[in-house]
Amino acid sequence: MIRSHLRISRRRLLKTGAAGAAAVGTFSIIGRARAAEEINALVWCDHSDPALLKPFEDTYGIKVNTKEFAATGEALAILEQSQPGDWDVLVLDTVDITKVAAMGHLAALTKSDYPWDDIFPQLTTESLHFLNGKLYGIPEKFGYNTVAYNSSKVDPADMRKASVLWNEKYKGRIAIYDYYVPLMQMVAIGIGIIPPQLTQDQLPAIKAKLLEMKPLAALIGDVVTVQNALVSGSADIIAGGGEFATAGLHGENPALDWVLPDEGGIRWMQSLAIFEKSKRKEAASKFVKYIMSPAGQARLATSACYWAMPANNKAALSDEQKKILRWDEQPTFLSKSYHYMSPNPEMDKAMLEVWTEFLNA
């Protein structure tokens, strides 16, 4: 079954102010925690899974009230509509951790309180989690925007080539995830450009390749749309797909798979933070520690909303779960993948213009 509430669109660029507030104008926030044994958390859908929350609640006697949001701007708008101290824990796109910390919303964390040394080292980039020498976010889960596919209908060897995105062999069989940042980075990799070094001068080459891809596409859509296309057979490949699109469905259809091309791919990541104005920081820290524990990490990685890799390399996953997540290939995948770009306003505008032209072609 398709998880219709999948929220991968959460990884949109940071939006603040009135526009962000308008985006969540009809949201109703939960009441303030009534006692020390309750905490309130702004989360992505994978953290609302009872299979994740109940063991913590039963063990610590702390009730976790969750509210889901899709994009960072929506979380900020919720904060604007809330009273100081309403919220305790935040799940956030890692690229936005230092931005939100700079706004004064996040509490500094003590690294030794968490299993930092057990986190895959490629995920602990200081510039993503530290601001002015202080830690504000703990990486908890990650995955890839890469190539997802139905192995019974394509040649799996082709999927390990970045050029599969414009391989005419698969004309009319490719669903393209409609998010410009990772897709344009994927194209960059395919034509030999290292994503962190992408400049505006190189955008024409990326546009040319995107326009080459367009006639081959079966459809372009959000995560649920492209995932549904793969499941229904309307498409055999998802450009920009990954473990989040197929791993949770593997039990229903083992042919649904994903892989990182040999040339590399794009890595997304989410982190946990505690709000500076939380009045229940001790309880919030217990929750973060639980999520980062081997058992918590396994439950988070295999959440009903979407599967992805746990940040803790000691996550208590079964051999079958590790196989579905391509655990043994992670050293290679991590070394060949790049963090999401966080383009400056000028670059972002230029990329959006290229993507809009691609959509309208």
Write down the H helix ranges in 92-242: 97-102, 126-129, 156-159, 180-190, 203-213, 223-232
Q: Angle 157-163-164 (CA atoms, 0-180°, nearest 5)?
A: 50
**Distance separating alpha carbons of residues 48 and 100, to the nearest angstrom:** 22
Task: Return the residue matching tokens 């925690």.
Answer: 33
Domains assigned to the chain: 38-142+268-331 (3.40.190.10), 143-266+340-360 (3.40.190.10)
For every one of its 361 residues, what pLDDT tens digit does the chain have, with 9 covering 90 and above? Answer: 333 334 443 333 233 332 333 333 333 344 444 445 899 999 999 999 999 999 999 999 999 999 999 899 999 999 999 999 999 999 999 999 999 999 999 999 999 999 999 999 999 999 999 999 999 999 999 999 999 999 999 999 999 999 999 999 999 999 999 999 999 999 999 999 999 999 999 999 999 999 999 999 999 999 999 999 999 999 999 999 999 999 988 888 999 999 999 999 999 999 999 999 999 999 999 999 999 999 999 999 999 999 999 999 999 999 999 999 999 999 999 999 999 988 999 999 999 999 999 999 9
Instruction: Determine the distance from the C-alpha atom of residue 149 to the mean position of all C-alpha atoms in its chain, rounded to a whole number.
Output: 19
Tokens of 109: 């964390």
Position 73: which residue type?
G
CA-CA distance, 164 to 106, in Å (whole number)?
Answer: 42
Tell me the torsion sign for CA atoms 236, 242, 248, 251: positive
Cα angle: 132, vertex 269, 155; to 5 degrees: 150
Whole-angstrom CA distances from 222 to 8, 78, 282, 298 are 8, 24, 38, 27
Q: What are the beta bridge partners of residue 2?
A: none
Question: What pLDDT is attached to residue 250?
Answer: 86
Distances 30 to 6, 10, 34, 53, 86 between C-alpha atoms, Å: 21, 20, 11, 17, 9
- Give the contacts of 58 (CB within 8 A, at least 6 positions apart): none
pTM above 0.85, yes or no: yes
| Structure-token pair, residue 199 | 């400049």
Q: Could you report the per-residue pLDDT of 25-55, keeping only the tens digit for each?
A: 333 344 444 445 899 999 999 999 999 999 9
Cα(63)–Cα(54) distance, integer angstroms: 9
Could you report the per-residue pLDDT of 234-272, keeping only the tens digit for each? 999 999 999 999 998 888 899 999 999 999 999 999 999
d(CA 92, CA 298): 19
Residues composing the chain: 361
